[in-house]
């Protein structure tokens, strides 16, 4: 192997494990060493589960030696945002309110990853309860962007984005309620998938907003994400939001090209946004031209006004979050992080009618997004509206400047359609610039196929961050 093992793809790791060039225990020790060397600066991990990782790795090696092969993730390291329950391992949500919580059961996603032979490296940093922001008053300080450690990672799956970008782990799970997987993917220059609502079980994932929460998958490449989706997708009868769909092989057909596919370009969704960097429309326009070169047809479409999606999503998210945290907000509000409190507590002043109105609008917005797919296969739009902001731009009290946190992601939490963030190019200041693709409900296969074709064309995912601190 000419490259360091932390740069190997999931398929390359699998191949090396199976032909004896690599053992999972050696790979795991290497990754644990890399985390020990680098994570003091990145703060991507809340907890490193070294003993558990080595135990998983030894089992994976032993099974392969005995001819037991659990599939693509067998012996492959992964990590989980610290809102996924892990039996016997603390699950803190980066909150003082949950700091000593040790679940006795695995989340369903963790159960599936373990069953598939994966190696758990640890629990990843998050904004408190997957909301809040990069608060310095939380138990673990904000994760830092590997492309510039003075900068924000995006969030709330902040550690997931940072860890994958820095090659501390190849694949990670996050969550996505308004963009919490796609934002760190875009700002850290990795691939982030929010699958269709209901495709991946959320059982054992600490909720932020029941009707907007999705699991999220982050990886170095579209293929890595597709192979991970193959493991975690599928019906869970114990999750009331789980869809009764038969998963397919999401990684097959990624190299098929785009001939005959129809792309809807939702340029209006981001082109008028306040704080938009002029580099973003230039980059997404270039991506649209690239998709045409790859054989697709691209046509501009109009979606409903972004402010409607934003208002609808925010009202639902904040009211549902208030319902979850109501008792703690009333009795020990000062134990929350400042941002978390400020973002959730005011939702208690909204009325039941406000929530019903949001759900009424949600039907219209969802049907409007869905109507696009009557004549198109995917939607192309922007993800973040500018490069990662400096952590110093975040004031003591909410809000930060809108350009620091604005992402065009919430429409597809409101509508539930699958959405993929992937690197498009780089801003002039060297920070990653991501685009967003959206697919039909439960058609992740086509979505990932388009993502893989663009990825192979753009080849920006091959570039690695050099840790700098400006």
Task: Indicate which residues carry an active-site annotation.
Answer: 81, 156, 180
Q: How far is the CB of 319 from other proteins (least distance, A)?
A: 9
Query: Toward other proteins, which CB reaches closer, 198 or 434?
Result: 198
SS3 129: helix
**Choices 92-100, 193-201, 230-238, 264-272; region in contact with other proteins by CB under 8 A:** 193-201
346 binds other proteins (CB under 8 A): yes
Judged by CB under 8 A, the number of residues near other proteins is 57
d(CA 342, CA 370): 34
β-sheet bridge partners, residue 421: 192, 436
* Binding of residue 136 to other proteins (CB under 8 A): no
According to the binding rule CB under 8 A, does residue 269 interact with other proteins? no
- Footprint (CB under 8 A) of other proteins, residues 277-316: 307-308, 310-312, 314-315
Pairing mode of beta strands 119-124, 77-81: parallel
- Dist CA 31 CA 34 (whole Å): 5
Exposure class string for 261-289: b at 16+ Cβ within 10 A, else e: bebbbbbbbbeebeebbebbeebbeebbe
Closer of 298 and 323 to other proteins (Cβ) = 323
User: In the complex, what is the shortest distance from the CB of residue 57 to other proteins, in angstroms, rounded to a whole number?
Assistant: 37
Binding mask 213-252 for other proteins (x = CB under 8 A): ----------------------------x-xxxx------
> Quick one: 270 or 341, whose CB is closer to other proteins?
341
Is residue 273 part of the contact set for other proteins (CB under 8 A)?
no
Q: How far is the CB of 96 from other proteins (least distance, A)?
A: 14
Length of the chain: 470
Nearer to other proteins, 100 or 246 (CB): 246
Task: Give the integer Cα–Cα distance in Å for 279 and 131.
Answer: 28
Sign for the CA dihedral angle at 356, 361, 365, 367 comes to: positive
Per DSSP (E only), the strands in 296-418 are 297-300, 378-382
Binding positions for other proteins, 375-404, rule CB under 8 A: 397-399
Report if residue 440 touches other proteins, rule: CB under 8 A: yes
Stretch that binds other proteins, among 99-107, 119-127, 217-225, 362-370 (CB under 8 A): 362-370
Instruction: Tally the C-alpha atoms within 13 A of residue 423's C-alpha that lie toward its C-beta.
Output: 28
- Which member of 373, 394, 412, 454 binds other proteins (CB under 8 A)? 373
Asked if residue 149 lies in contact with residue 392, where contact means CB atoms within 8 angstroms, the answer is: no
Angle between helices 222-232 and 108-115 (to 10 degrees): 110
- Distance (Å, whole) CA 266 – CA 305: 11
At its nearest, how many Å lie between other proteins and the CB of residue 194? 13
* Contacting residue, 75, 135, 198, 386, with other proteins by CB under 8 A: 198
Q: Quickly list DSSP for 411-470.
A: HHHHH---EEEEEEEE-TTS-EEEEEEEE-TT-HHHHHHHHHHHHHHH--TT--PPP---
Using only the alpha carbons of the chain, give its radius of gyration: 21
By DSSP bridging, strand 171-176 and strand 77-81 are parallel
Q: Do 281 and 300 form a contact (C-beta atoms < 8 A)?
A: no
How far apart are CB 155 and other proteins at their closest, in Å?
A: 17
Smallest gap, in angstroms, from Cβ of residue 112 to other proteins? 20
- Contact between 407 and other proteins by CB under 8 A: the answer reads no
In the structure encoding, which two tokens stand for residue 148, read together?
């510039």
C-beta closer to other proteins: residue 270 or 373 = 373
Point out which residues bind other proteins (CB under 8 A).
196-198, 211-212, 241, 243-246, 307-308, 310-312, 314-315, 318, 329-330, 333-334, 338-339, 341-343, 345-351, 354, 356-364, 366-367, 370, 373, 397-399, 415-416, 440-443
């Amino acid at each position: 192997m000419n490259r360091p093992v932390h740069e190997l793809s999931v398929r390359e790791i699998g191949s090396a494990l199976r032909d004896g060039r690599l053992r999972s225990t050696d790979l795991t020790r290497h990754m644990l060493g890399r985390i020990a060397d680098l994570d003091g600066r990145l703060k991507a991990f809340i907890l490193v589960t070294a003993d558990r990782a080595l135990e998983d790795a030894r089992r994976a090696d032993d099974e392969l030696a005995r001819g037991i092969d659990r599939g693509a993730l067998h012996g492959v390291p992964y990590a989980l945002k610290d809102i996924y329950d892990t039996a016997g391992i603390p699950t803190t949500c980066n909150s003082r309110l949950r700091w000593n919580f040790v679940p006795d059961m695995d989340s369903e996603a963790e159960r599936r990853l373990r069953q598939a032979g994966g190696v758990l490296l640890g629990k990843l940093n998050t904004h408190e309860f997957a909301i809040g922001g990069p608060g310095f008053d939380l138990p673990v300080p904000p994760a830092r962007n590997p492309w510039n450690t003075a900068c924000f990672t995006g969030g709330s799956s902040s550690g997931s984005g940072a860890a994958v970008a820095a090659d501390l782990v190849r694949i990670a799970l996050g969550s996505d309620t308004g963009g919490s997987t796609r934002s760190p993917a875009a700002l850290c220059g990795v691939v982030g998938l929010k699958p269709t609502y209901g495709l991946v079980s959320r059982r054992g994932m600490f909720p932020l907003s029941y009707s907007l929460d999705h699991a999220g998958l982050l990886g170095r490449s579209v293929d890595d994400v597709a192979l991970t989706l193959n493991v975690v997708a599928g019906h869970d009868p114990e999750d009331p939001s789980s869809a009764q769909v038969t998963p397919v092989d999401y990684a097959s057909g990624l190299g098929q090209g785009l001939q005959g596919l129809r792309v809807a370009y939702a340029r209006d969704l981001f082109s008028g946004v306040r704080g938009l960097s002029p580099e973003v429309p230039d980059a997404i326009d270039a991506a649209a031209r690239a998709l045409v070169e790859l054989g697709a047809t691209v046509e501009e479409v109009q979606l409903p006004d972004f402010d409607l999606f934003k208002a609808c999503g925010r009202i639902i998210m904040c009211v549902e979050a208030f319902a979850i945290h109501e008792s703690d907000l009333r009795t020990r509000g000062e134990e929350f992080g400042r941002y978390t409190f400020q973002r959730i507590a005011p939702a208690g002043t909204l009325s039941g009618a406000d929530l019903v109105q949001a759900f009424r609008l949600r039907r219209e917005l969802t049907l409007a997004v869905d109507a696009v797919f009557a004549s198109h296969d995917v939607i192309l739009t922007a993800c973040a509206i500018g490069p990662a902001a400096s952590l110093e731009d975040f004031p003591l009290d909410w809000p930060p400047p809108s350009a620091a946190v604005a992402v065009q992601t919430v429409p597809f939490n409101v509508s539930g359609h699958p959405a993929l963030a992937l690197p498009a190019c780089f801003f002039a200041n060297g920070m990653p610039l991501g685009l967003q693709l959206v697919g039909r409900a439960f058609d992740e296969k086509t979505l990932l196929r388009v993502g893989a074709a663009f990825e192979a064309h753009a080849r920006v995912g091959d570039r690695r961050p050099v840790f700098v601190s400006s």
